[in-house]
Structure 1
Amino acid sequence: MAQTVIIRADDLGYSPGVNTGIAAAVAAGSVGCVSVLCVPGLWTEEGLASLAGRDVALGVHSCISNGRPAAGAAAVPALVNETGAFRSSRFYRSAEQDPVPPEQALAEIRAQVAWFTEHTSRRPDYLDIHAVPSKSLSTAAEQVAAEMGLPFLGFGIGETHAVGRANLRLHLPPSHTAPYDPWASLAGALDVAPEDTALVHVTHPGYVDAPLLRRSGLTENRAWEAEMLCSAELPDWLANRRARMTDLRAIL
C-alpha cells in the first residue's frame, strides 16, 4: 500500500518571487495545500491571483511577524513596532517568555480568517502558524480552527494527530541549512513516517528577490525546493518509494 504524502507550500504572499515559485509548484501538480499569509502589507493578493483557476486547498498561515495586522495595530499593540508593522520573528525567538498576549493572538487570527474569506470568497481549508514559536499563537490558532470546525496543522514536528479520516504527521525540513538537498529531506521524512500515517511535508518554494532578501533568512533553499516540486521526475521518484501525493482535502 502506498504511503500518502501531502506537500504543503508555505508563505504565499511573502514576496513576488515566493508567489512565482508556489504558483509553478501548484501548476506542476505536486502541492497538496498552500498556506496563505493573510495580512496587509505583503503580496498576498497577487499570490492568490497567480493561483486563479487552480483547484488547491488553501489555509490561513497565522502570522504575527511579517506585514501589518489584519485587526489593526490598535487591537494588537504588543505585536507591533513603532511603525505599526508586526515585530520580526527574531524578537519572538529571543524573548525569555512568550511575549504574545493570548487575547491579542485570538483577535488577530480571527481578523486574518476574515481577510482570507473577503479575498477568496470561501472558507479556509485549515489553519496553521507561521515562523513564530509562540504557545499563545499556536493555542489561539487551534481555538479558532476548532470554532470553525477546521483542521489545525500547526502541531509539533514528528507528532501524529488524527485529522479527518487520517492520521497526519508533520515534517518541517531543516531548510535554513546549507548545503540543502530537498530530495534527501523528503526521502528522510518518508523513511521514518509510520505506514499508517499521511505525511504532511512542509516546503517553502520560491525564487530569490529583493523583498525576500530584505525580510527572510530563508532564501536560496526556497529555489531548491521549487526545482524539486516542479520536476517531472517527482511522481515516479515517490512511486519508487511506495508513496503518492494527494490533496489535503482528499483525506479530511
Structure 2
Amino acid sequence: MKKKLIVVADDFGFSEAYNYGVMKAYKEGIVTVASLMSNMEAAPHAVKLAKEYPDLNLTQHTNFVSGYPVSDPHMIPSMVDENGKFYRSVQWAPTSPLDTKCQGHVVVSYEDAKTETLAQMARFKALTGHAPNHFEGHSAGTDAINKAFLEISENTGIHCMALLDKETDSLKPAHELVMANNEYMLALHRGMCVEDFINTEGFGLLASPYEINVMHFHPGYVDAYILDNSTLTIQRCRDLQVLCDSRLRSWLDDHNIELTDYNAVYK
C-alpha cells in the first residue's frame, strides 16, 4: 500500500505576515492544504493570495479562541466575554489533568459550538465561493465540540477531524499523526527541525497502517499581531524552514510517499 500524506498549514488568515509564510510553504515546500480561519480580519487577505493558486486546497480551521465570532455574540454566550470577543483557550476549563493549555472555567456548549461552526462555514463560502471539503478545530477541543462537528459532518457530507480514523460510506479514513505521537506534539511546540521528522520515521508515518495520513504545521512569518495573540511565535518560522527544506522532500520521495490533499478522502 502506497502511503499518502496530507500536509496542512493551520491558522491561514491569522495575520497578513503569517499568510505570506503559508503561501511560501505551499509554493516552495510540501504543504498541500491551507486551513482558513474565516472569522479573522486577515482572512480576506489569505483568500486573495490563495486565489492565485487554484490547486491549493482550502479547508476550514474552525476557531473559537481568537478574535471575534462570525455569529451574533448574543447567540453564543458560552464562547464570548462581555465585549463579544472569544475567550482565550487559557480561560477554558481543562478537559483532563494533563491539559496544560486550558486553566480556567469556561465550558463551551454543544449548541454554541454548532452555531458558530456553521457561521464560520458560511463565511468561508462567502470568501472563497465554495464550501470547504474538510473542517477541524483550532487550539482547544471538547466532547461537546466533537459532537457538534460530527453532526455537521453527517448533515453536510463534509469530512471533519472529529471523524479521526473512521470510515463512512462516502469518506475514507484520514489518520491524524499529531493525535498519535507525543514526539510530534512536543516538536511542534518547541519548534520543528528536519531531524525531528527523519529520526522518528516521519513521526510514525512509515509505521502507520493507514493509506491516508495527516500532518499539521504552522508555517509562517511573525508580526506584531502574532506576537500579541499567539503562544506560537518562533515555532512558526521553524516550521516554515522545515517544510521548505529539500531534505524533507527527498525523504518523502525516498519512501515513496505521495503528497495529497483532502480531495483524496472522498470515495
Q: Equivalent residue for 1:84?
A: 84
Deviation of 1:177 after TM superposition, in Å, equals 3.6
Contact 1:76 / 1:104 at 8 angstroms: preserved in 2?
yes
Contact 1:5 / 1:245 at 8 angstroms: preserved in 2?
yes
Q: Which residue identity is paired with 2:165?
A: T
Contact 1:176 / 1:218 at 8 angstroms: preserved in 2?
no
For residue 160 of structure 1, give the secondary structure of its aligned residue in structure 2: coil
Deviation of 1:29 after TM superposition, in Å, equals 5.7
Task: Write the deviation string for residues 110-161 of structure 1: whole angstroms up to 9, x where unpaired.
Answer: 1111101111111111111111122212221222122111111245xxx533
Which residue of 152, 159, 165 maps to 1:160? 165
Q: Which residue identity is paired with 1:237?
A: W
Query: RMSD between aligned alpha carbons?
Result: 2.1
For residue 228 of structure 1, give the secondary structure of its aligned residue in structure 2: helix
Deviation of 1:181 after TM superposition, in Å, equals 2.2
For 1:91 and 1:122, the matched residues in 2 are separated by 33
Deviation of 1:53 after TM superposition, in Å, equals 2.4
Moved more, 166-175 or 145-154: 166-175
Moved more, 209-218 or 228-237: 228-237
For 2:137 and 2:29, the matched residues in 1 are separated by 24
Q: Which residue identity is paired with 1:171?
A: L
Contact 1:127 / 1:142 at 8 angstroms: preserved in 2?
no
Give the unaligned 5+ runs of structure 2: 93-101, 179-183
Task: Give % identity.
Answer: 24
Q: TM-score, normalised by structure 2?
A: 0.84
Q: Equivalent residue for 2:37?
A: 37
For 1:152 and 1:76, the matched residues in 2 are separated by 22
Q: Equivalent residue for 1:189?
A: 204
Task: Please tell me whether residue 206 in structure 1 is matched to residue 214 in structure 2.
Answer: no
Q: TM-score, normalised by structure 1?
A: 0.89
For 1:29 and 1:162, the matched residues in 2 are separated by 30
For residue 133 of structure 1, give the secondary structure of its aligned residue in structure 2: coil
Q: Which residue identity is paired with 1:170?
A: E
Q: Which residue identity is paired with 2:56?
A: V
Task: Write the deviation string for residues 82-131 of structure 1: whole angstroms up to 9, x where unpaired.
Answer: 221100011112246x7011111111111111101111111111111111
Deviation of 1:182 after TM superposition, in Å, equals 4.9
For 2:60 and 2:171, the matched residues in 1 are separated by 21
Contact 2:173 / 2:265 at 8 angstroms: preserved in 1?
no
Give the unaligned 5+ runs of structure 1: none
Task: Please tell me whether residue 170 in structure 1 is matched to residue 169 in structure 2.
Answer: no
Q: Equivalent residue for 2:158?
A: 150
For residue 78 of structure 1, give the secondary structure of its aligned residue in structure 2: coil
For 1:179 and 1:32, the matched residues in 2 are separated by 20
Q: Which residue identity is paired with 1:181?
A: C
Task: Please tell me whether residue 238 in structure 1 is matched to residue 237 in structure 2.
Answer: no
For residue 60 of structure 2, give the secondary structure of its aligned residue in structure 1: strand
Contact 1:10 / 1:203 at 8 angstroms: preserved in 2?
yes
User: How many residues are matched?
Assistant: 246
For residue 79 of structure 1, give the secondary structure of its aligned residue in structure 2: coil
